Structure 1
Amino acid sequence: MSDSIHKPPRLALAYASLLVRRPGLVLLVILALFAVCLWGTTKLTINSNQLDLIDQDLPEVKEVKRIIDMIGGSGHLMLALRGDDEATLKKVADNLGAQLLADKQNVRSVTWKLPVEFIQQNMALFIKTEDLVEGKRRIMAFLKDQLRRANPFFIEIQKTEPVKLEMTDLVNKYGSVGKKSIRDDYNISNDKKMIMMLIKPMWDSNELGKSRAYIEELRQKLAAYSTQPGSDGVKLVEDYELMGNKQTVAYGFTGSYKTAVDDSYAIEESLQPVTLVAFAAIFIITILAFRKLVPTIIVASGTVVGTIITMGFTYVTVGELNMITSILGGLLMGFGIDYGIHFIFRTRLELGQGKRYDQAIRDAVVNAGRPALVAAVVTSGSFFVLVVSEFRGFSQFGFLAGFGTFIIGVLLFAWSPALLSIAGRINPELPRKLIGEMKPPALNSKTGKELRVPRPGLVLGISTVVVLALCACAINWTSEEIPLDRPTTLWERIKGGVRFNYNSRALIPEGQPSVRLQDEITKRFNISADPIAVYSKTLEEAKAIYEELTQHPDKYNTVDQVVSIYTFVPPPETAAANAKILQEWKEELKDIDVNALPPETQDKAALFMKMLEARPFDVHGVPANYREQFVHLPETKPENHGYLTFIYPAVDLWDGKKMLDFADQTSSIPTPEIKDASGKVIAPAQIHRAAGAAPLFARLARIVLADGKLAVFLVTLWILFMHFLDFRSVSLALASVIPLTVGLAMMLGIMSLADIHLNFMNIIILPILLGFGVSHGLYLLHRFLEGTSPMVALRSVGAAVASSTLTTAAGFAALLVASHNGLKSMGLVACIGLLTTLIVSFTVLAAVMQVMWDRRARQRAASASDSSSAPSTGKSDTPEHAA
C-alpha cells in the first residue's frame, strides 16, 4: 500500500488549522452548546415504567395491558405477618386490612381473608362420589357408637373401645380449594404462624417509582402501628427472620411489586459506589499515564462537557431516560476519555520532535484524528446495531450511546486542541510545560541494530496454540447437562465450554429479603408468589379454559393449580350423584337428636347437618365475594369486559429455562367451538394466551438472547466493512481486528476455565466489547503505516493504547464492588475481554506487524536489486509501503 493512501485529507488539515487559528471561537461554541445542553440535562427525567421499554404491539404487552385495565395490575404487593400467636396475627391483619382499604388513593383492594362457610357447606358436592360413600360409612359408624354410649341405659358386658372417627386422609384430600384451606377464613399458613395479605395498588407493578414511594409510606404507617387505638401495644417490626410473639409481629414485603422494585433499587444502589470508584480509578490511571495533572484535567473536563452535551441531545431526541439508559453517563465517560488520552499522547510525541506548539497540535489532530474518527464511527455503529432490538431499553440505549460516543470523540478532538492552542498563544512554551513531551523512540539499539519484536514467528506459533486451546475450552463437547448450581471440576468445564446461566437468582444480590420471603411463602403455603391470568370474554369461554387446563395435566406439566370462578362450581355429574347420597343420608339421620350427642361433638354435628342440605348449583350460584375475584372492575373499558382464570406455576420461575417452558405452555391454550342449547355457535374455536410477569419476562429473555446473537453478527460485519474502507486492503483490515477477534476468543476460553457463565445481563457486553476493541488495532496499525517500525509504533502509541484500555477496564472493574450480581458479571466479563485484547495487541499484533515489516524490507531489497541490474532509464524509483 502506497504512502499516498495515508496522505492527510484536505478536510482534516483544514479542521486542524481552524482549531489552531480560532481556538477561542471553538471554545465559545462548545461552551454555548454546553450551557444549552446543561439546561436540557436538568429537565431529563427517568421513566421507571418497565412496560414502556417493550414494544407495545407485542401480544404479551397487549394482554398485560388488558389485565391492568381489568383488575388494576398484574400480581400483588404481598405483606406477610409472622408470629407464634395466632390470635395476635389475626387481629393485626384485621386492623391493617381496614387501614389499607381506607387509603383509596393508593389501594384498590386488600385480601387477607375470605369467608369459607359457603365452601364448607357445599364441599360434599365437590368430593368424589366413592370418597363421599366412604366418609358416610365412617361417620355413621361413629355416630351410632356415640349415641349408643350416650344412652343412660348403655351397659357393656365386655368392655370395647369407642369407635374413632378417622377422617384425616379425606380432610387432607378435600380440605382446601386450590391451595386455600377451607378450615379458616384467613390466608394463614398450616402452622398458623404466618398470615399473607395481598395488596393491589392503583397502578401496575411495572411503575417502579410509584411502588417504591408507596412501600416507603407503608413502612412509616406500620412503624407507628403500636401507637394506634386497638393495637394493644403490639409492635410491628420489618424483619425477614424474626418469629414474633404476642407483643411483636414481624412483617416483610414481597410479590411482583416488591421484587421489581428491589431489583431496580439494587442496580441503582450498586451504581452509586461504582461511579465513585470508577471515577477515582480512571483519574489515578490517567495521572499515572501522563505523570502530570493538567492533561488529566483537560481530558476529564472535555469528557464531562461531552457527556453533558450527549444528555442534552437525549432530552431533544428521546425526551427522557429509562432504567437502562440511566447508566449512559457513566459508560460514556469511561469510553469517551480514551479519545482525549490518544490526542494528548500524540501531541506530546509531536512536541518531542521539536515542533512548535501550533504545528504539533495540528499534526496530532491529523495523525491521531483519523484512527480516532474511525474508532468513533465503528464504536458508534456497534451501539447503533442495538437500535433494531424489540426491547426499547436496548434500542434507545444503542441510539443514545452511538451518538454519545461520536459526540464525545469529536468534542475531545476540539476541546483539548483549543485549550492547548490558547495556552500556546499566551506562551509558546506553555503547552510543552503543561502536558510534557515524548522524545521519538529510538530506531536502533545501542549496538546499532534495528529494534524489533523478538522472534515474531515463535510468538505467532505459541499464540496460535494458546488461542486454539482456549477456543477448544469454549466449545461444548458433550450432550450432558453440566450443572450450574455447584462448583464444577476442570474436566467438566472443558467439556461444557462457555455455558449460559438461565437462573435469574444468579443475578440478584445474595440473600435479597423479598426473594427469601417469597421462598418462605412458597414453603408455608405451598403456592408460588404470583399467578398469571388468562382472559375470556364470556363465562362459557372461562369454563372451556378451566377444563382444558385441569383435564390435561400432562400437557401442562409446569402448571401447579388453576383457579377460576369454576373452581367454586362442583362438576354437575358428581354434584347430582352426591346430592342424592346426601338426601338419603339426611333421611337416615332425621331421627337423631344432636343434643343427645356428647358436647364436644355437637358443634361439628350442627355443621354436618347443614352440609346435608347442599344442592347442586351452577356458576350463577357462586357468591359475589368469590365471583368478584375473577370479573373485571366497574371502570374497565367495555372491550375488556370479561373473566380471568389464574394459573399458578409448578416450577421455579427464577430458573429461566423453566420460566420459558411455563410461558410456552400457557401461551397457547386451545378451546373448542362453543354452542348454546339451540346449537348456535356463541364462541369459535380459539387460542388463548396467558398474561402476566412470567410471559412478559420470557419474551424479554428471548429478545435479549436473540438480540445478543444478532448484535454480535451485525457488529462483526460492520467492523470488517469499516476497517476495509479505512485501509483499502483485506490483509490490513484483517490484521487490525486481530486484537479484537483473538482477544474475545481467549476471553471465552478463560470464562469456561474459570467457570464464569454468560447470562441475561453480561451477554450485552459482547457487542460493546466488539465496538471498543477495534481501537487497539487501529491506533497501532495506523502508526505503523506512517512508516515506523513495529517497535517504534508500540513505543509511541502503545502507552496511549494501554492507558485508554486500562481506564475503560477500571470503569468496568468498579462494577465488581456492586452488590448486584448481574452488574458484577458484566464487569468481570468486560475486564477479561479488555485485558485479553490488550495483551494480544502487544504480542500477536506486534508479531504480525514485524512479519509485515520484514516482508516489506525484503520487497524493497528485491526491488533495489532489480533496479541495479536493469538498464538505466534515467528515472529513479520510489519505494512504496507494501501491505
Structure 2
Amino acid sequence: MSDSTHKPPRLALAYASLLVRRPGLVLLALLALFGVSLWGTTKLTINSNQLDLISQELPEVKEVKRVIDMVGGSGYLMLALRADSEPTLKKVADDIAAKLLADKEHVRFITYKVPVEFVQQNMALFIKTEDLLEGKTRIMAWLKDQLRRNNPFFIEIQKTEPVKLELTDLINKYSSVGKKSIRDDYYISQDRKMMLILIKPMWDSNQLGKTKDFVEHLRKELAAYSKSEQSGGVEVVEDYEKMGNDKLVAYGFTGSYKTAVDDSYAIEESLQPVSLLAFAAIFFITILAFRKWVPTIIVSIGTVIGTVVTMGFTYVTVGELNMITSILGGLLLGFGIDYGIHFIFRTRLELGQGKPYDQAIQDAVVNAGRPALVSAVVTSGSFFVLMISEFRGFSQFGFLAGCGTFIIGVLLFAWSPALLALLGRINPELPKKLIGEMKPPATQNVNTGKELRIPRPGLMLAVSTVIVGFMCAFAIPWSDVDVPTDRPATLAERIKAGIRFNYNSRALIPEGQPSVKLQDEITERFDISSDPIAVYTKTLEEAKAVYDELTDPKNKEKYSAIDQVVSIYTFVPPAETATANAKILADWKEELKDIDVAALPPEAQDKAALFMKMLEAKPFDVHGVPDIYASQFRHLPETKPENHGFLTFIYPAVDLWDGKKMLTFVDQTSRIPTPEVKDATGKVLSPAMERRAAGAAPLFARLARIVLSDGQLTVLLVTLWILVMHYLDFRNVKLALASVIPLTVGLAMMLGIMTLSDLHLNFMNIIILPILLGFGVSHGLYLLHRFLEGTSPVVALRSVGAAVASSTLTTAAGFAALLVASHNGLKSMGIMACIGLITTLVVSFTVLAAVMQVMWDRLPSKLKSGVVHTPAQQPSDKSKSEAA
C-alpha cells in the first residue's frame, strides 16, 4: 500500500453523479428495458433436442444422423407388458400393436413378433456339424427304439428301459438367433410372463419434447383401451412393480427414448420447486442481514429485473434455451443479489458517517463499485471460459451466465442507487430511515484505548495453515489402488484414494427411476443388454466384413465389451457348415424315407412334419434371407440416397451406466478394421478401412470426454484469468495473491472434506468448480479493497464482513435448495457448492484476516494514522471540502 492523491476515475464519478442527479430518468430507462426484455422472455422456448448441443461436425454426430435417416432413430421406445397369463399377454399385445400401427402420425414401425418358421426350418444349417451328428445319433437311437417298441410283434425277454431322447442341451444351445428365441414369434421372456413391443417413433430419441408428449398420448390410449369392449375385461395399468393376472396387465415404458426423457426432465422438474425454495431462502437470509424489509425488497426486485433482462438478452442473442441453460434464471438470482447486498451495506456505512443521502449514495457507488466491477468482470470471465467447450450446452451456458452476471451487477448498481436517490428527493431522511445506517466501526478499545486488532495473527496464521494443510492433504491421492464400489469405502481407503471421480451415471439419476428399473428387469428376464449401437456399411460385402471381424473367435479378447452382434448375416449359415450339414440332412432323409410316421407315438407325430421340413433345408446366401428379416438391417425407402446401405447392430456386454465401461465399449467399436474385399475377377468390392459405430453410447462417451477435458482446462484457464485480473486490479503481486487465498485454500479444503465424506466428483458437479472459482473471488476483493482504504483488518472485517457473509450465504442458500431435488446429479452440485462456499468464507475470516493483520503490522505508523487509498478509491473533492 502506498499513499496517493489521485482522484477517482472520472467515469466512475460521472456515472455515480448521473444516478444521483437523474434518478427518475435512470429508473424509467431500466423499466423500459425490463418491459422489452419481458416480452422477449415470453418468446423463449426450450430446445429439448440434445443432439443440437453437440458440434454437428463431430464424426459421432454425423454417424448417428446417418442412422437416424436410415432407420428413423437410434434405439427404441420399449413398451413392456407383464402378466401371469401368456394368452392374455399375447391378446393385449396384438390389440395394442394394431392401434400403434394405425397411428401414422407418431409411429414409424413397431416390432413385437417376428415369424420364426423360416429360422426353425433352416436351423440345422447353422448348427455345428459335430453337434448335428450328435443330434442325429440320439434321434436315430430313440427312433429305432420307438419303432421297435411300437411293433405289435415286439417281445422283450429281458426288460430294458426305453431310450430317452435328451436334446435339451442342443436345443438350448441353438434356440435363439442373437437373443431372440426361435420357439415363439412374439418377443416374450423365457418365463412367459413379460412381452415387449419395440416402438420406433417418427423422430429421434434426442427430441425429448416429442417423446414426452407421445408417452402421455400412449397412456391415454391404454386407459381408453382398458375401458373398451375390445379389452375383454382386461385392465391395463402402468406399474413398475406389479405382476398382472388373467384380468390385469401391468405395463411400463423404457428404452433409450424413455430413459433420455426421464433423466432430462427429472432435472427440469426438480428445478421448479428448487427455484421457489431457493428464492424464499435467499429472501429470508437477506432480511436477516439487513434487519429491514425495504432493502431486501429493493435488491430482490432489482435482481428479478436483471434476470429478466438477461432472459431478454438470451432471446436476442441465442434465440432459445436448452436443457442446460434452462437453469440459468435460478442461478443468476442467487449470484446477482450479492451486488445489491454489497451496495446497500456500503450505503449504510456512508450514511453512518453523517453524509447527506446524495453524497452517501455517490460515494457508495464509487467505493463499492470498484470491487463489484472487478468481481463482475472476473466472475463473468470465469463463465466465459466455458465457451471453449465443444458441448454447446456448456458453451451457451458460459456465454449467457457470463453476460447475465455482468448485466445484473451493472443493473443493481443502477437500480438501487437511483431508487434511493429518488426517495431522497422526496424526503432527504427517507433513505436512511428505510435502509438504516451503520456507524463506522470503532478502531480502538474503549477501555484500554489501544488499537483493535486480530490477536496473535502469526499464531493464528500458523494454526490455520496447519489445519488447512491437513484438510487439503485428504484430497491428494496417495495410492493408485481403486476404492471398492460394491460397498462404502472405509476411512483409510478414502484417505489413500483422495478425491475421486465417479464414472457411474446411475449415481446421478433419481433413485428408483421407473424406466431404469424396468430396463434392469428386461435385461434379467430376456438376457439382453440395452439398446444397440450400429455400424453403417454401403454394401453387403462391407457388412459381411464387419460381421466377420466382430464375430471371429480370435477377436474375442479384442472385443471383450461386446455381448452380441446382429446382422443380416446372422441369418445366413456359414457356407462350409451349411454344405456339410446339408449333406448329412440329405443322407438322413434317405435313411428315413421308409419310416411310417403313423408308427411313432402320438406326441412325436405332431413334430414329425416340422422335422421332415428341416431335413429339406438347402444352403442359401444373403439373398435368400426373407425380407421380414433383411428389412431390419436395410435403409428405409425414404432414406436419402447417400445413406443407402446396411446396418450391423452391436449389443454391449457391460453396464453402460458405468462411465469407464461405457468408454471401453465405445473405444472397442470406434475403430473396427475390415480387410479389402474382392470379387472373383479381382474387382475391389470393399476397400480396407476402419468403421465407426454410431448411437447413443458413442455420443455420451464423447460428451463424457468433453466434460472431463473441459473441466480440467476451464479450471486452469479460470485460475489464470483470476490471477491476471487481480494483479491488474491491485498492481501488486502480494495483494493479488492475498486476495485469492479464500478461493484457492477454500476449494482445496472442499475437496478434502469431500474425500472424508465419501463424496465424489462426477459428470455434473465438475462444472461447479469453475463457477465456484468465479464466485469465490468476491471474498478477498471486498475485504482487501476496504482494507486498502486505510482501515485496520478488524475495521475492514466489521464494515464489509457482514456483506461478504450475507452474499455468500444467499448464494449457498440457492445451491442448498438443490438438496431437495430428486435428481442426484443436481443434489451433488448443491452439496459441493455449499461446502465450497462455506470453506471459502471461513478461510476469509481466518487465514485472510491473519494475513491482513500481518500486512497491517508491517506498515509504518505514519501510514496507519493517515488515510491510505488506491487510485480508484480517493474521496471526491466535494466530500473533502465537507470533511474540512
Length-normalised TM-score, structure 2: 0.97
Question: More deviation in 142-151 or 346-355?
Answer: 142-151
Question: Contact (CA 8 Å) 1:240, 1:517: kept in 2 or not?
Answer: yes
Match of 1:106 in 2: 106
Q: Does structure 2 retain, via aligned residues, the 8 Å contact 1:2–1:880?
A: yes
User: Does structure 1 residue 603 correspond to structure 2 residue 606?
Assistant: yes
Q: Could you say which residue in structure 2 is the equivalent of 1:449? A: 450
Q: Matches of 1:752 and 1:663 in 2, distance apart?
A: 30
Q: AA paired with 2:461?
A: L
Residue in structure 2 matched with residue 684 of structure 1 by the alignment: 687
CA distance in 2 between counterparts of 1:484 and 1:168 reads 39
Residue aligning to 1:417: 417
**8 Å Cα contact 1:83-1:243 kept in structure 2:** yes
Matched residue SS, 2:859: helix
Structure 1 stretches lacking a partner, 5+ long: 865-876
Partner SS for 2:231: coil
Aligned twin of 2:181 = 181
Quote how far apart the aligned CAs of 1:487 are: 1.4
Query: For each residue in 1:645-677, what CA deviation from the matched residue of structure 2 results, as whole angstroms up to 9, or x when unmatched?
Result: 000000000000000000100000010111111
Q: Structure 1 residue 484: deviation in Å?
A: 3.3
CA contact (8 A) 1:292 1:435 kept: yes
Aligned length: 868
* Structure 2 residue corresponding to 1:784, chosen from 761, 784, 787: 787
Structure 2 letter corresponding to 1:730: V
8 Å contact kept, 1:72–1:203: yes
Q: Deviations over 1:11-40 (max 9, x none)?
A: 101110000000011111111111111111
CA contact (8 A) 2:187 2:195 kept: yes
8 Å contact from structure 2 (residues 531, 651) kept in 1:
yes
Deviation sequence 1:419-439 (CA, Å, 0-9, x none): 000000000000000000000
For the residue of structure 2 that corresponds to 1:555, the secondary structure is: coil
Q: Name the structure 2 match of 1:868.
A: none
User: Offset of 1:878 from its aligned partner?
Assistant: 10
Q: 1:814 aligns with which of 812, 817, 821?
A: 817
Alignment of 1:37-76 (within 5 A): 37-76=37-76
Match of 1:614 among 591, 614, 617: 617
Aligned to 2:465: 464
8 Å CA contact 1:856–1:881 kept in 2: the answer is: no
Could you say what secondary structure the match of 2:636 adopts?
coil
Counterparts of residues 683-762 of structure 1 (less than 5 Å): 683-762=686-765
Q: Aligned residue for 1:301?
A: 301
> Which residue of 1 is the match for residue 363 of structure 2?
363
Residue aligned with 2:4, SS: helix
Deviation track 1:726-781 (CA, whole Å, cap 9, x = no partner) reads 00000000000000001001001101011100000000000000000000000000
Are 1:47 and 1:321, in contact at CA under 8 Å, matched by a contact in 2?
Answer: yes
Task: Tell me the equivalent position of 1:222.
Answer: 222
- Cα deviation, residue 6, structure 1: 7.2
RMSD: 1.3
- Structure 2 residue 642 is matched with structure 1 residue 639: yes
Deviations 1:362-405 (A, max 9, x none): 00000000000000000000000000100000000000000000
1:488 Cα shift? 1.3
Amino acid at match of 2:338: D
C-alpha separation in 1, matches of 2:363 and 2:862: 30
Moved more, 645-654 or 1-10: 1-10
CA distance in 1, matches of 2:382, 2:340: 20
Partner of 1:500: 501
Q: Which residue pairs with 2:566 in the alignment?
A: 563
Q: What SS does the corresponding residue of 2:474 show, helix, strand or coil?
A: helix
| Aligned counterparts, 1:624-635, within 5 A | 624-635=627-638
CA, structure 1 residues 89+54, in 2 after alignment: closer, same or farther (shift >3 Å)? same
The letter of the residue matching 1:284 is F
Deviates further, 688-697 or 458-467? 458-467
CA distance in 2 between partners of 1:502 and 1:694 (Å): 14
Aligned mates of 1:819, 1:315 — CA distance in 2: 30
> d(CA) in 1 for partners of 2:731 and 2:618?
88
Aligned to 1:373: 373
| Equivalent position of 2:403 in the other structure | 403
Contact kept in structure 1, 2:132 and 2:581, CA below 8 Å? yes
- Structure 2 partner of 1:592: 595
Match of 1:872 in 2: none
- What letter corresponds to residue 345 of structure 2 in structure 1? F
Q: Within 5 A, what are the aligned runs for 1:193-342?
A: 193-342=193-342
Question: Closer, same or farther in 2 for the Cα pair 1:225/1:880, shift >3 Å?
Answer: closer
Question: 2:586 aligns to what?
Answer: 583
CA contact (8 A) 1:372 1:409 kept: yes
Q: Determine helix, strand or coil for the equivalent of 2:822.
A: coil
Paired residue secondary structure (2:199): strand
SS in 1 for 2:481: coil
2 CA distance for matches of 1:585 and 1:825? 67
**Alpha carbons of structure 1 residues 717 and 5: separation in structure 2 relative to 1, 3 Å:** farther
CA displacement, residues 554-611 of structure 1 (integer Å, 9 cap, x when unaligned): 1100000000000000000000000000000000000011122111100111111100
Relative to 1, partners in 2 of residues 1:334 and 1:878: Cα closer, same or farther, differing over 3 Å? Answer: closer
Letter in 2 for 1:782: H
Deviation at 1:219, TM superposition (A): 0.5
State the secondary structure of the residue aligned to 1:200.
strand
Q: Give 3-state SS (helix, strand or coil) of 1:196's partner.
A: strand
Q: CA deviation at 1:860?
A: 5.7
Partners of 1:558 and 1:878 in 2: how far apart? 70
Question: Residues 120-131 of structure 1: matches in 2 within 5 Å?
Answer: 120-131=120-131
Bigger mean CA offset, 468-477 vs 352-361? 468-477
Do structure 1's residue 486 and structure 2's residue 487 form an aligned pair?
A: yes
Q: Is the CA contact 1:385–1:714 (under 8 Å) kept in the aligned structure 2? A: yes
Superposed CA offset, 1:334-379 (max 9, x none): 1000000000000000000000000000000000000000000000
Residue 870 of structure 1 corresponds to which residue in structure 2?
Answer: none
Equivalent position amino acid for 2:516 in 1: V
How much identity, in percent, do the aligned residues show?
Answer: 81
Q: Unaligned regions of 5+ residues in structure 2, if any?
A: 872-884
Supply the distance in 2 between the matched residues of 1:653 and 1:300 (Cα, whole angstroms). Answer: 44
Give distance in 1, aligned partners of 2:297 and 2:377.
Answer: 25
Match of 1:519 in 2: 520
CA distance in structure 1 between the aligned counterparts of 2:480 and 2:710, rounded to whole angstroms = 25
TM-score (norm 1): 0.97
Amino acid at match of 1:474: A
- Alignment match, 1:386: 386
Q: CA deviation at 1:4?
A: 2.7
Q: What secondary structure does 1:474 align onto?
A: coil
CA distance in structure 2 between the aligned counterparts of 1:625 and 1:229, rounded to whole angstroms: 32
What is the alpha-carbon distance in structure 1 between the residues aligned to residue 498 and residue 422 of structure 2? 56
Once the two structures are TM-superposed, the CA of residue 207 in structure 1 deviates from its matched residue by 0.2
Contact 1:6 1:786 in 2 (8 A): no
For residues 175 and 870 of structure 2, what CA distance do their matches in structure 1 show?
88
Deviations 1:708-741 (A, max 9, x none): 0010000000000000000000000000000000
- Given that 1:382 and 1:770 are in contact with CA atoms closer than 8 Å, whether structure 2 keeps it comes out as yes
Q: Deviations along 1:811-836, whole A, 9 cap, x unmatched?
A: 00000000100000000000000000
Cα distance between partner residues in 1 of 2:322 and 2:91 = 42
Task: Give the whole-Å Cα distance in 1 for the aligned partners of 2:490 and 2:541.
Answer: 56
**Alpha-carbon distance in 2 for matches of 1:472, 1:360:** 46
Whole-angstrom distance in 1 between the partners of 2:300 and 2:863: 45
Structure 1 Cα separation of the partners of residues 258 and 66 of structure 2: 22
CA displacement, residues 789-811 of structure 1 (integer Å, 9 cap, x when unaligned): 00000000000000000000000
Deviation at 1:449, TM superposition (A): 1.1
Retained in 1: the 8 A contact 2:3–2:863?
no
